[in-house]
Structure 1
Amino acid sequence: MNLLHANDRAGEFPPSYYAATATPLKPFPVLKGQLSADVCIVGGGYTGLSAALHLAEAGLRVVLLEAHRVGFGASGRNGGQVGSGQRQDQNWLESRVGREDARRLWDMGEDAKALVRDLIDRHALPVTFYPGIAHACRSAAEARHAHAYAEKLARDYGYTQIEPLSQGAMRDIVGSDVYHGGDLDHGAGHLHPLNYALGLAQAAAQAGAQLHERSEVHHIRHGAKPVVQTASGQVSCDHVILAGNGYLGGLDRKVASRVMPINNFILATEPLGDRAARILSRKIAVADTKFVVNYWRLSEDNRLLFGGGESYGYRFPDVVKTVMKPMLEVYPQLRDVRVDYAWGGTLAITMNRMPCFMRPAPNVMSASGYSGHGVAMATLAGKMMAQAVQGQASGFDLLARLPQQRFPGGAALRWPLLVAAMTWFSLRDRLGV
């Protein structure tokens, strides 16, 4: 079974709050016949759209192929959080790659956030960036670690945007007694993820990129001049960029063995009215320290958008039931609230939770596996691959040097082995270990 078709109607966005409030964008045509291009991009999420925009602005001939609609996948369904740094913290990075490269990776994360904000401003994208992400700690030890880490970032990296929060301060912000403190990153933020993707698509098209929807790629013939094949057309090109992330499927086995699709879920309540200020007293987003992370924020019309729960098969479970349980653990006072929207989506993780940058074949580049940290990093990945096509590959090569282990069993056996591992970590969450 292909994840592209397991849970959704062909060529349609899932019935999410984001789709219901999206800025309309006229569909792009299906690819028909033969085209030639300097670069063919497979996938119309943040990675592919950013690559298309930056390549088109540089004057290259670009064709982007999306199986459904641009922003259809994780880019149009996620929690909308634009976090600082990398998915792994600087302590982890320093121990693996040394302080010099860890510094470069930190700066790259800062560049990624700045790029998101710059694209929104420069292209007048139909989305607002709201500053602030709180990290809510489930234990006093985690809160102490968060405060010490904020001190390290200020001391070693000059990053002074993080405000440590006591247990009482966290309670005042999130309206819940569950957490023991944490911090508030004023340099991070959140946005409407689908409108951001649609805005990038429109900007790329205006810059001259050719975008095609309902154009699923089923085969790539590799060589000096790769050919990308769909059911009704093909693109002959000099370079291919793989940007399918969790929906890439079997198009490239080298990527598939290192990048694992998983499913995550979000619900949107009815508008909370006056109750909203008692759920979140500031216009920020929140993520907690559970292994299977809970994350939430208020929408512009004061709905609670709460994400949580994961699954590791093809079919989505009952989304309301999956997400309601962790939501009520944080906010038992919302037991009577109506759920207006509930949806799932497929993202991708790697063994070490750092993105997987690869050259899996001649004239082919791939970036994927953002592990829940993809809004900013996927945007930057697209820009870095556009730069690499033009011979400026230092950023891409730094991330490509990070060792990426294959999942045990490779692409064939990663599902059952991952399920076993994730079940263990989920049990640890439930036991409070």
Structure 2
Amino acid sequence: MNLLFANDRPGEHAASWYAATAASDRRWPALKGRGRADVCIIGGGFTGLSAALHLAQRGMDVVLLEAHRMGFGASGRNGGQVGSGQRLEQDDLEAMVGRDTARKLWDFGQEAKALVRDLIAAHQMPVTFHPGIVHACWKDAEVAHARANAEKLAHDYGYDQITPLSRDDLAAIVPSPVYRGGDIDRGAGHLHPLNFAQGLALAAEAAGARLHEGSVVHAIRHPAAGATARTVVQTDHGAIEADHVILAANGYLGGLEGKVAARVMPINNFIIATEPLGERARDVLRENVAVADTKFVVNYWRLSEDGRLLFGGGESYGYRFPDIVRTVRKPMLQVYPDLADLRIDYAWGGTLAITMNRMPCFVRPRPNLWSASGFSGHGVAMATLAGKIMAEAVAGQAERFDLMAGLPQPRFPGGALLRWPLLVAAMTWYAMRDRIGI
């Protein structure tokens, strides 16, 4: 079964609050016939659209192929949080790659946040960046770690936007009885992710990129070594000959490239949107910030522009989505027991991608084939920067791509064939630890 069609109607966005409040309903035609391009991009999410925009701005002829709609995948369905740094904390990165490279990775994360805000402003997107992400801790040891991390970032990296929160401090912002404390990062923030993805699409088109929806890629045919023919990207009703191909399909890549599939694993995550809360919004959040907690299967939430609680939680590892409302209501009521009477107006799921070490996977399987994926729940900013970095690499400036590609990126045990059952076993174990409080 193909994840592209397992849970969604062909050519339609998920029935999410984001789709219901999208600023644009622009559609692009499917690819028909044979064409040529300097670069063919597969995937119309943050990574692919950012790559298309930055390549087109460099004067390159770009074709982007999206199986469904622009922003169809995780880019248009996620929690909208624009976090700082990388998915791994800086002390873990320092242990993995050393202080100098860890510093470069931190700077990439800072640039990624700035890039999101700059693109919104430069292209006058109908998107508001709301500052502030709270990290809510379940255990006292996690509160102490959050404080130490804030001190480290201030001392070693000059980042002073994180304020530690005691239990009372946290409760003044997040009035839930379950958390022991945490921190708030005023340099991070949240936004409407589908509107941002659509804004990127419109900006890429305005810069000269040719975009196609409803164009499922079935095969990539590479010329024999030493041949002068171009790579051919094949869809149902057309094909593109290109000098370079960028893979930007993340969790929906399927079997198009085995070297990526062995290192990047698709998983499913879910969000519900309640009815508008009205005055009860203050029982959920007392500032317009986003929240993520320290569960292994992270709970994350924020208020929508029309006052709904958008609450994400729960994961699955098969093709079919479970009962989403039941899956997400359980952790929501654990955090906010008094919300049991609320009506759920929207419930949706999506497929993202993770890696073994939770760092993005940059791979160059062939000299003209580039890939970035596996953002592990930290992709709004980093996926957008990844597209820019791949555009630089295609244009001959590959230093930043090579730095990311040089990070340790182990294969999943069992490779692409056995990764799924082994991952399910591991994830189930960690989720069980969450439930019993280990």
Q: Fold-level match, TM-score > 0.5? A: yes
User: Is residue 2:374 matched to residue 1:374?
Assistant: no
Code of the aligned partner of 1:137: C
Matches within 5 A, 1:148-163: 148-163=148-163
Matches within 5 A, 1:105-124: 105-124=105-124
What is the alpha-carbon distance in structure 1 between the residues aligned to residue 192 and residue 27 of structure 2?
20
Code of the aligned partner of 2:329: M
Q: Name 2:142's counterpart in structure 1.
A: 142
Q: Name 1:188's counterpart in structure 2.
A: 188
Query: Greater CA deviation, 196-205 or 25-34?
Result: 25-34
Q: Name 1:231's counterpart in structure 2.
A: 236
Aligned to 1:136, the other structure's residue is in SS state strand
Code of the aligned partner of 2:287: R
Q: Name 2:434's counterpart in structure 1.
A: 429
Q: Name 2:104's counterpart in structure 1.
A: 104
Residue 144 of structure 1 and its aligned partner are, at CA, apart by 0.6
Q: Name 2:133's counterpart in structure 1.
A: 133
What is the alpha-carbon distance in structure 2 between the residues aligned to residue 291 and residue 187 of structure 1?
24
User: Is residue 2:330 matched to residue 1:322?
Assistant: no
Residue 25 of structure 1 and its aligned partner are, at CA, apart by 3.2
Residue 24 of structure 1 and its aligned partner are, at CA, apart by 1.9
Matches within 5 A, 1:164-203: 164-203=164-203
Segments of 5+ residues of structure 1 without an aligned counterpart are none
Q: Which among 282, 286, 298 is matched to residue 281 of structure 1?
A: 286
Residue 222 of structure 1 and its aligned partner are, at CA, apart by 1.3
Residues 222 and 361, structure 1, Cα contact 8 Å, conserved in 2: no
User: Is residue 2:273 matched to residue 1:268?
Assistant: yes
What is the alpha-carbon distance in structure 2 between the residues aligned to residue 235 and residue 400 of structure 1?
26
What is the alpha-carbon distance in structure 1 between the residues aligned to residue 160 and residue 412 of structure 2?
37
Q: Name 1:74's counterpart in structure 2.
A: 74
Aligned to 1:316, the other structure's residue is in SS state coil
User: Is residue 2:4 matched to residue 1:4?
Assistant: yes
Residue 54 of structure 1 and its aligned partner are, at CA, apart by 0.4
What is the alpha-carbon distance in structure 1 between the residues aligned to residue 356 and residue 148 of structure 2?
26
User: Is residue 2:359 matched to residue 1:359?
Assistant: no
Code of the aligned partner of 2:219: H
What is the alpha-carbon distance in structure 2 between the residues aligned to residue 222 and residue 333 of structure 1?
58
Residue 293 of structure 1 and its aligned partner are, at CA, apart by 0.2
Code of the aligned partner of 2:215: S
Code of the aligned partner of 1:360: P
Q: Name 1:396's counterpart in structure 2.
A: 401
Residues 133 and 185, structure 1, Cα contact 8 Å, conserved in 2: yes
Residues 222 and 362, structure 1, Cα contact 8 Å, conserved in 2: no
Matches within 5 A, 1:21-36: 21-36=21-36
Residue 360 of structure 1 and its aligned partner are, at CA, apart by 1.2
Residues 131 and 186, structure 1, Cα contact 8 Å, conserved in 2: yes
Residue 386 of structure 1 and its aligned partner are, at CA, apart by 0.2
User: Is residue 2:216 matched to residue 1:213?
Assistant: no
Q: Name 1:291's counterpart in structure 2.
A: 296
Q: Which among 341, 344, 347 is matched to residue 339 of structure 1?
A: 344
Matches within 5 A, 1:21-60: 21-60=21-60
Aligned to 1:150, the other structure's residue is in SS state helix
Aligned to 2:145, the other structure's residue is in SS state helix
Residue 394 of structure 1 and its aligned partner are, at CA, apart by 1.3
Code of the aligned partner of 2:155: R
Code of the aligned partner of 2:347: A
Residue 83 of structure 1 and its aligned partner are, at CA, apart by 0.2
Q: Name 1:243's counterpart in structure 2.
A: 248
Query: Greater CA deviation, 394-403 or 38-47?
Result: 394-403
Deviations 1:301-338 (A, max 9, x none): 11000000000000000000000000000000100000
Residues 31 and 213, structure 1, Cα contact 8 Å, conserved in 2: yes
What is the alpha-carbon distance in structure 2 between the residues aligned to residue 378 and residue 399 of structure 1?
12
Residue 279 of structure 1 and its aligned partner are, at CA, apart by 0.7
TM-score by length of 2: 0.98
Segments of 5+ residues of structure 2 without an aligned counterpart are none
What is the alpha-carbon distance in structure 2 between the residues aligned to residue 115 and residue 24 of structure 1?
22
Residue 145 of structure 1 and its aligned partner are, at CA, apart by 0.5
User: How many pairs align?
Assistant: 433
Aligned to 1:406, the other structure's residue is in SS state coil
Q: Name 1:253's counterpart in structure 2.
A: 258
Deviations 1:250-270 (A, max 9, x none): 000110010000000000000
Code of the aligned partner of 1:182: G
Residue 123 of structure 1 and its aligned partner are, at CA, apart by 0.3
Aligned to 1:351, the other structure's residue is in SS state coil
Q: Name 2:316's counterpart in structure 1.
A: 311
What is the alpha-carbon distance in structure 2 between the residues aligned to residue 345 and residue 376 of structure 1?
18
Code of the aligned partner of 1:18: Y
What is the alpha-carbon distance in structure 1 between the residues aligned to residue 117 and residue 320 of structure 2?
35
What is the alpha-carbon distance in structure 1 between the residues aligned to residue 175 and residue 416 of structure 2?
43
Aligned to 2:270, the other structure's residue is in SS state strand
Code of the aligned partner of 2:45: G
Deviations 1:126-171 (A, max 9, x none): 1100000000000111001100110000000000000110100111
What is the alpha-carbon distance in structure 2 between the residues aligned to residue 25 and residue 158 of structure 1?
42
Q: Name 2:422's counterpart in structure 1.
A: 417
Aligned to 1:251, the other structure's residue is in SS state coil
Q: Name 1:386's counterpart in structure 2.
A: 391
What is the alpha-carbon distance in structure 2 between the residues aligned to residue 376 and residue 303 of structure 1?
24
What is the alpha-carbon distance in structure 2 between the residues aligned to residue 47 and residue 325 of structure 1?
32
Aligned to 1:106, the other structure's residue is in SS state helix
Deviations 1:86-141 (A, max 9, x none): 00000011001110000000000000000000000000111100000000000111
What is the alpha-carbon distance in structure 1 between the residues aligned to residue 243 and residue 362 of structure 2?
19
Deviations 1:350-396 (A, max 9, x none): 00000000001230000000000000000000000000011111111
Residue 403 of structure 1 and its aligned partner are, at CA, apart by 1.5
